Structure 1
Amino acid sequence: MDVNFELYKIFYLAAKSESFSSASRKLFISQSAVSQSVKHLEDKLGAKLFTRKGKQMVLTNEGVLLLTHVEQAYNFIKTAEHKILEIQNMDAGEIRIGASDTVCRYHLVPYLEKFNTLYPKIKIHVINRTSSQILNLLKNGIVDFGIVTLPVEDDDISVSEFMNVQDIFVASDKYSDLMNISIDLRDITCYPLLMLEKNSSTRRNLDIYFRSIGVLITPEIELESVDLLVDFAKIGLGVACVLKESAMDALCKKEIFEVQTKEKLPERKLGIISMKSVPLSKASTKFMEFIPNR
């Protein structure tokens, strides 16, 4: 049965006010239009909905039954309208972000803090995964956007640059022969290397770079966590390749030192990815405004 929802709205207001004239004033239409609409609805449903009792329009049993369900639907719609208004006013909503633990810890936290201060009612969900896993989360609708290591080559994905980051080599004084000198990058392979696991985008990019200069790297230890790489370097297990920001605290405390190389490792680009076919929510769009140089 195809019934115009506007008819249910007119019926609802007429039933609640028990008056066609009162409903007409609320709807800014004539009393005759209300009467005709109710008659049209009755014809569609094949049931009498109102009966006149003096000056009042009283619901029949069928009318009472219909009102019970229409009122619930009407309230659901009003609630939905209210929630949408809250979202538009940033009084409700959520953002779902995919990012690695390292990106969250050293680059994302300041933006999250500022956003949360201004919009405390917006829920923030962060899922820590590798870049390739974040891409899958995005495609499956689990996150709204992700921050990953570039490049990302996918026609369905929108990519914008976030920032450049620098990887460095660090070691403890166990490798004091590397202090205060600058060595050829190829010679770094003479030492036990501590690196991220092969399934990370960072490691894959480093492998590609080393192969481009004719160097095959075989790490002594591979880990998932950059912070663990720093910890392992501090206790002398090898020379670690880490994000510069992750090593700053230990460098300042002189627990480790930066191994200087004649050829600097290339900077890595971090980017923000989202689905081209899925518009970002109001909250996600607002969060993007906090990120400069996009």
Structure 2
Amino acid sequence: MEDHKLKAFCLIVETGGFSRAAKEKFMTQSAMSHLVKNLEDEFGTQFFHRQGSAVIPTPAGRVFYEHAKQILERYKKMEDDIYALIQKVKGTVYIGASQTAAAYLLPQVFYSFTKVHPEVRMELLVSSTEKTIDNLLEGKIDLAIVEGTVKKSSVSLEEIAEDEIVIIASDDNPLSGKSIVTPGDLISQPFIMPEKGSGIREFIEDFLHTSKINPKDIKVSMTLGSTEMIIHMVQAGIGISFASKWTVFEAIKEGSIKLLKISGKKLRRKFYLMNLDKEPSTIASKTFKEFTKGYRFFIPF
């Protein structure tokens, strides 16, 4: 059955714009606009008011959205009931993840899971940790994999992996010659900060607080949303930063960046599989959740 039109329509309403919805659905904006135009022609009415780049549903658009949400929920329930009847795990798992989890955890578990359940399709939405949690709470995804501390009472968390956070610098950075650096040493260097809302940004802020360092004392040279770009900027000598050891493993092997050994114990954070307090709504999602809880992730260090 084709439900992509309803999903796309709902996404436009929820994101407030064609371009954002198209990006999340991996469609072109023109394709998204054409889809809505066909629906408007079919029903003979306008579904959206355009206000610059934003769109607001008309009364008819709001009615269509409410019914579309109900239809999609009923379709998921029908799919679940039928597959339960024939004892077959089939359907789509909608999962959200942070950049690090998507790049270094999910490929492992996706490969193993789809070998066992080849008729399950995975739909992955990669966002910051903060946005991924919002997507779960808004019902856009069934499950989420995030890192760090989650302060939401309405979600269920299962620890699935642990990560080491390292401080990275270029070979010619003044701190690279020190056998041990202290938290206070970091104040002397330009800092490349991950974007707000990311798991690593939250980790850095917690580290500064624990180390009794005023964030205003950190010389932030730039803020970036891409882990890869942060690593490149560090390699270029623009500043130092924190990163998941997973993300810099290859650069460490190549010798293109240096790890700064911080005094005290290693810096670690946990990854969690997260869903709303109620169980995931489909057999496919429930099966993936149980599979992931018992999965042993390969840690390359």
TM-score by length of 1: 0.66
Q: Could you tell me how far apart the structure 2 residues matched to 1:100 and 1:177 are?
A: 30
Per the TM alignment, residue 176 of structure 1 is displaced from its structure 2 partner at its CA by: 5.5
> 2:120 matched to which residue of 1?
122
> 1:277 matched to which residue of 2?
278
Per the TM alignment, residue 114 of structure 1 is displaced from its structure 2 partner at its CA by: 1.1
| Contact 1:169–1:240 (8 Å) recurs in 2 | yes
Identity %: 21
Structure 1 residue runs without a partner (length 5+): 1-78
Letter in 2 for 1:89: K
Per the TM alignment, residue 129 of structure 1 is displaced from its structure 2 partner at its CA by: 1.2
Letter in 2 for 1:232: M
Q: Could you tell me how far apart the structure 2 residues matched to 1:197 and 1:117 are?
A: 35
| Contact 1:131–1:148 (8 Å) recurs in 2 | yes
Equivalenced residues, count: 215
Instruction: State yes or no: 1:243 paired with 2:244.
Output: yes
Deviation beyond 6 Å, 4+ runs, structure 1: 79-82
Per the TM alignment, residue 82 of structure 1 is displaced from its structure 2 partner at its CA by: 9.0
Q: Could you tell me how far apart the structure 2 residues matched to 1:265 and 1:208 are?
A: 14
Q: Could you tell me how far apart the structure 1 residues matched to 2:176 and 2:81 are?
A: 64
Structure 2 residue runs without a partner (length 5+): 1-77, 296-301
Per the TM alignment, residue 276 of structure 1 is displaced from its structure 2 partner at its CA by: 1.4
Match of 2:137 among 127, 131, 139: 139
Cα displacement string for residues 118-148 of structure 1 (whole angstroms, at most 9, x for unaligned residues): 2222110000112221122112211001011
| Contact 2:176–2:258 (8 Å) recurs in 1 | no
Q: Could you tell me how far apart the structure 2 residues matched to 1:248 and 1:201 are?
A: 19
| Contact 2:142–2:280 (8 Å) recurs in 1 | no
> 1:186 matched to which residue of 2?
184
Aligned pairs for 1:229-240 (under 5 A) are 229-240=230-241
> 2:83 matched to which residue of 1?
84
| Change beyond 3 A, Cα 1:111–1:81 | closer
Q: Could you tell me how far apart the structure 2 residues matched to 1:146 and 1:174 are?
A: 39
Q: Could you tell me how far apart the structure 1 residues matched to 2:270 and 2:211 are?
A: 20
Q: Could you tell me how far apart the structure 1 residues matched to 2:238 and 2:80 are?
A: 60
Cα displacement string for residues 216-272 of structure 1 (whole angstroms, at most 9, x for unaligned residues): 243222111222111111111111211111001011011111111113463112211
Q: Could you tell me how far apart the structure 2 residues matched to 1:170 and 1:199 are?
A: 21
Instruction: State yes or no: 1:202 paired with 2:200.
Output: yes
SS at match of 1:182: coil
